[in-house]
A and B are shown apart, each in its own frame.
Chain A
Amino acid sequence: MKFTLGWLKTHLETNAAVGEIADKLTAIGLELEGIEDRAAILSKFVVGYVVEAKQHPDADRLRVCIVDNGKEKLQVVCGAPNARSGMKGVFAASGSYIPGKDVELKKSVIRGQESNGMLLSMMEMGLGDDHDGIVDLPADAPVGAPAAQVMGLDDPVIDIAITPNRADCLGVRGVARDLAASGLGTLKPRKVEPVAGKFKSHIGVKFDFPAGTENACPYFVGRLIKGVKNGPSPKWLQDRLTAIGLRPISALVDITNFLTFDIDRPLHVFDAAKVKGDLTLRLAKPGEKILALNGKEYTLTGSETVISDNAGVEALGGVIGGEPSGCTEATTDVFVEAALFDPLRTAATGRKHELISDARYRFERGLDVAAVVEGMEAATRMILELCGGEPSELVITGKLPEWKRSYTLRHERLHGLGGLDISLEDAAAILQRLGFAVAKDGNSLKAEPPSWRGDIQGEADLVEEVARIRGYEHIAAVSLTRDAGVAKPALTPQQRRVRESKRALASLGLVEAVTFSFMAREQAALFGGTSAELLLANPISADLDRMRPSILPNLVLAAKGNADRGYPDAALFEVGPQFSGPKPEGQQIVAAGIRAGKTGPRHWAAAQRAADVFDAKGDALALLTALGLSTENVQAVPEAPSWYHPGRSGALKLGPKTVIAHFGELHPGVLAKLDAEGPIAAFEIYLDALPAPKAKGSKARPMLRLSALQPVERDFAFLLDAGIESAKVIAAVKQAGKEVAEAAVAAVSVFDVYQGKGVPEGKKSLAIQVRLQPKDRTLTDAEIEAIGQKIVGAVSKATGASLRS
């Protein structure tokens, strides 16, 4: 919402400077967007009198002018075709800044002639595109006076943001009222005396709404004014409109635009000669068309409120008028409309047809329901004053909606809710200044909102009005402290696990990424996301049209992006949601990570290698360990979803049913479809599937019993079928250990796997180290030997392995 300081002062009696007004506007919730003080930018420019303009001796298109700037006469070379002796223009001296060209003007010599300044065009002044010639000021403009003043540009333009609830401040008067309430001046009285009608309008108005839709337009006021003379509006009116970015059109149109912004009352003017018969307000018929004043044609759907005559639709109620019955310079009889239109229907019409207008903006927010006639009278007076003519009686159709209501404001609430220390009397005075009818009732106020404050709906709104006008800075801050007693952690054990996962994965050398929750449906499908339930109805683009079924595709694409930038070795993770269905239970939190390319840079001390399934397995197990899970009971089995390499991937399971993670190298076919280079090692840990952390109870750990006896280590090298899993060998060793009375198998490690020369085809050599912990006494060599035999026997029985000689 834009207005000028001068305009504001037509409603507000104040001596406050523009800066003070600006601060106050923000303080009362009418947030300042900016102040444009054009006079400041143009302050160096003065009215210059062209004493003489001669042809430049050496240039056909240039003139050499002698310009009187009020102090001295200077020679100026000018290229404008309209530069002539005796005219008055806008003179910029050498050294001044030319806003339209963003340059500092320098004294120069043009084709041998000295030039000591410039006569400016509108474009050069930064006031539009007009560069056809230099500004031609009126003959009575005082030479040497500030040009901005003469041109009516010395009025600062104030721009404020209006929140949707404050429709009443979409007019300068509403803004003035709020400022006056806040103590920044007094609201000037305004009383629009009704104009007596001289005759009865020949254009009648009737409503024809289907039952149940009558609120589309509950109230309509019209008036015919005959014998007007339309033409350009006066300079003061044009200046006001230009200042806020509106283009002056003609007096009749300018008056409606002015009143829209002045008293927040949108109006429409029909050329009465072009209206065929009476006007009917009704809903549109599907397929009906209107050529609107913006030059575009709209095909209506049936839900729009229209004003029609015998020829068809003449206006979209509350949104825009029609071209056929619009006013022109030739209009002599004008039918003026002031009405109330349903905010919801007006908004829907505007949205449907992507039609934004100052009228729609106001009607959809809700206008002063009681000021329709007053708006008409104000319009009548302006038209009579500027265009002459003879007014008819008012044509009033419909009934004003009931708007009076009252709310109780308890004094206690001002502090109890608003945190504000203020007397009931001061609160009452604030509400009165805002236009409320207020009555004191014991420790409370009964407040009746004015007709322009449809947004006030209860006691909390009254508290806000008082607090807002008093100023939020008067609310004393009170620190919020923890309740007494034992502090509960801010995070639940599950939330803590999510946080720890990120820290743990970053500690493993992976870099955290955060990627979108949606992706392209084709990519989602590669990762099991085929259900249509998770497609977006209105995606922002086709590559972001489905909720992600897995985090991995985003990480793969991120790695690809980094590779494209020249960083092919990306180790990335993300802990976040993935979606298997639209219901809350379809959202799981997953810690996913990838290692793409090589595991590290080329290094003098270590051979460079590609990331593989064992990196992924290691990351997964390291995270589980960091989260406090015992990996003793975690089983790795060669089962994984289709996006993993079938021979180089697996699941981590707790028991036969609970899958807690998948890991492995990604399927080369899937990577090819993502256009990404492999191999990429990846893992997905389903944090929701992990057993719940112990939330309560004893934190005591089991008693630790440390043996005084030295453990014994023995190596075994087995020869077995290449397809047999090492886990089987280890399980057999552990099982055998359970049958030994005098020692326990404390650890088994695999230290060599070999296939090739010296090992028969189809076989592999698997070397393990077993750590035996004696129980009661040191073992003899014979006892150790016997245990070794048992282990070999058990492994051999379970896997068919033989001891490699």
Chain B
Amino acid sequence: MTDLTDLLSSARASIAGAADPAALDTVRIEYLGKKGKLTELMKGLGAIAPEKRKERGAALNQLKNDITTELEKRTETLNAGALDARLAAERVDITLPARAASLPEGRIHPISQTIDEIVSIFGDMGFNVAEGPDIEEDFYNFSALNIPPEHPARQTQDTFYLNVMTTSPGASEPSPMVLRTHTSPVQIRTMMSQKPPIRIIVPGRTYRSDHDATHSPNFHQVEGLVIDTSTHMGHLKGCLIDFARTFFDVPDLPLRFRPSHFPFTEPSAEVDIGCSRKGGELKIGNFGDWLEVLGCGMVHPKVIANCGLDPAVYQGFAFGMGIERMAMLKYGIPDLRTFYEADLRWLKHYGFMPVDLPSTTGGLAR
């Protein structure tokens, strides 16, 4: 049987020597092809005496298996080498810049982001978002809110007027339309069109005839209104404390409610939050100093009556705050005017990723 051992040895040598798949195939044919060396030996089995045939057959089969295995192994090795060579040839400089289109260049403006945050927090307390027109009638912007005609806020230095006159409900003379000076007219529109209980927040554009470092002629406010039969000042405090602590993400943020005066609320309050101004840097938190953030109060009985509701039955609170101011405080934006300059450098720096959608479940803005 030494002929078989030699044959295996020579096959192994040939297989190992095959440098590529074609050479290996030649080897396979040399041994296992129709006229291959092993095939020829197989053909010779018939001539062997039956008592020896079985043993010889088993040996040949073993040899065939061995050679086949060797061929498969070599094929794998050769394939792997070819793939390695291809991969090496395909190598690129991965430090080159990525394809431009795949980079998220878009941003959400801080005003939109802040509105989304505020809506999310109040939404959790059962508030719905209400809206109203930017160009308002005198009645909704002033008279119904208990702001009499002689009030300083009505003077042209504060209010933008249009050259269009309207006669508001209950008014004897027409008055010019105004750009709303606050989001409060939506309180009136809502109370006149919707039966209590009411819980609304009103983010929107507002306008005042003022343009300097701390005033913009067009800015944003968010108004809140709760009207039912039992909401009192304790709820007002609770609601705004919960809001401010969530918004600024400072669980122990102190809030101070100070008596103040607005024509449309009674009692009225201004609200300060805790802060520090040490070293000229403003920090929000329990640091002993105070910073005014919003005005609020219990809706004035006259305002409720002006909307056709009975002030002996219905009561509630209202509050209003500047959205830019909240954004400036939370995100450390120093200058109000920059919100409207559409400077790409500013927008990319202070803007937010589109996927950064605030929610109280997933968290407010990153």
Contacts and interface: CB of A to CB of B under 8 A. Distances in A.
A567 B100 contact: no
Given A544-B217, A562-B342, A464 B126 contact: no
Contact of B259 (A29, A562, A604): A29
A26 B116 CA distance: 33
B162 A533 contact: yes
A164 B106 contact: no
A577 B242 contact: no
A534 B176 CA distance: 12
A600 B100 contact: yes
Contacts of A533: 162-164
A245 interface: no
A576 B231 CA distance: 34
Nearest to B267: A464
Contacts of A491: 119, 123, 128-129
A774 B209 CA distance: 67
Contacts of A541: 211
B234 A419 contact: yes
Contacts of A488: 128
B162 A584 contact: no
Contacts of B100: 600-601, 603, 606
Interface in B64-93: none
Contacts of A801: none
Contacts of A517: 134, 179, 205, 207, 218
A515 B217 contact: no
A535 B160 CA distance: 10
Interface string B253-274: 0001111110000111110000
B315 interface: yes
Interface stretch (B19-27, B34-42, B278-286, B344-352): B344-352
Contact of A513 (B260, B347, B353): B347
Contacts of B109: 502, 512-514
A480 B125 contact: yes
Interface in B116-153: 116, 119-120, 122-129, 131-135, 150, 152
B357 interface: yes
A513 B342 contact: yes
A29 B258 contact: yes
A509 B105 contact: yes
Nearest to B98: A605
A805 interface: no
A463 B233 CA distance: 11
Contacts of B237: 419, 472, 475-478
Contact of B233 (A418, A499, A554, A555): A418
B320 to A, nearest CB: 16
A292 B123 CA distance: 58
Contact of A547 (B128, B135, B161): B135
Contact of B235 (A419, A460, A483, A540): A419
Contacts of A472: 233, 237, 257-259, 269
Given A533-B163, A600-B101, A464 B226 contact: no
Contacts of A604: 96-97
A467 B339 CA distance: 39
A561 B162 contact: no
Contacts of B207: 517
Q: Which of A351, A514, A538, A583 has the most CB of B within 10 A?
A: A514
A99 interface: no
Contact of A460 (B126, B298, B344): B298
Contact of A506 (B97, B108, B126, B261): B108
A570 interface: yes
Given A347-B150, A562-B344, A503 B101 contact: no
A567 B344 contact: yes
A189 to B, nearest CB: 27
A15 interface: no
B258 A512 contact: no
Contacts of B152: 164, 347
A532 interface: yes
B342 A507 contact: no
A480 B131 CA distance: 22
Given A477-B241, A512-B107, A482 B126 contact: yes
Contact of B344 (A478, A570, A587): A570
B326 interface: no
A486 B269 CA distance: 33
A479 B239 contact: yes
Contact of A477 (B96, B177, B238, B344): B238
B119 A587 contact: no
Contacts of B106: 505-512, 571
Nearest to A465: B267
B230 A463 contact: no
B5 interface: no
A420 B162 contact: no
Given A512-B107, A576-B205, A518 B232 contact: no
B259 A467 contact: yes
B262 to A, nearest CB: 9
A565 B343 contact: yes
Given A29-B259, A417-B298, A507 B104 contact: yes
A343 B151 CA distance: 11
B232 A418 contact: yes
Given A506-B106, A512-B108, A517-B218, A537 B162 contact: yes
Interface in B329-366: 339-345, 347-348, 351, 353-355, 357
Contacts of A707: none
B257 A478 contact: no
Given A461-B266, A467-B259, A577-B134, A538 B160 contact: yes
B301 interface: yes
Interface string A561-603: 1100101001110001101001110110000000000001101
A477 B239 CA distance: 8
A29 B261 contact: yes
Contacts of A492: 128-129
B252 to A, nearest CB: 14
Contacts of A570: 344
Interface string B145-186: 000001010011000111110000000000011010000000
B300 interface: yes
Given A473-B257, A477-B241, A515 B134 contact: no
A489 interface: yes
A558 interface: yes
B266 A460 contact: yes
B234 A478 contact: yes
B238 A479 contact: yes
A416 interface: yes
Interface string A688-731: 00000000000000000000000000000000000000000000
B43 interface: no
16 contacts: A344-B150, A415-B232, A416-B230, A460-B301, A472-B233, A472-B257, A472-B258, A473-B257, A487-B126, A491-B123, A495-B131, A511-B344, A511-B347, A540-B217, A562-B344, A606-B100
Interface of B: 96-97, 99-101, 104-109, 111-112, 116, 119-120, 122-129, 131-135, 150, 152, 155-156, 160-164, 176-177, 179, 197, 201, 205, 207, 209-211, 217-218, 226, 230-239, 241-242, 256-261, 266-270, 298, 300-301, 315, 339-345, 347-348, 351, 353-355, 357
8 nearest CB pairs, A to B? A29-B259, A419-B234, A490-B123, A464-B267, A558-B342, A506-B106, A163-B261, A506-B354
Interface of A: 26-29, 31, 163-166, 343-344, 347-348, 351, 415-420, 458-461, 463-464, 467-468, 472-473, 475-483, 487-492, 495, 499, 502-518, 532-541, 544, 547, 554-555, 558, 561-562, 565, 567, 570-572, 576-577, 579, 582-584, 586-587, 600-601, 603-606
Given A475-B237, A503-B355, A583-B135, 16 more contacts: A163-B260, A417-B298, A419-B232, A463-B267, A487-B126, A503-B354, A505-B106, A509-B101, A509-B105, A511-B344, A512-B112, A514-B342, A536-B162, A539-B160, A558-B341, A600-B100
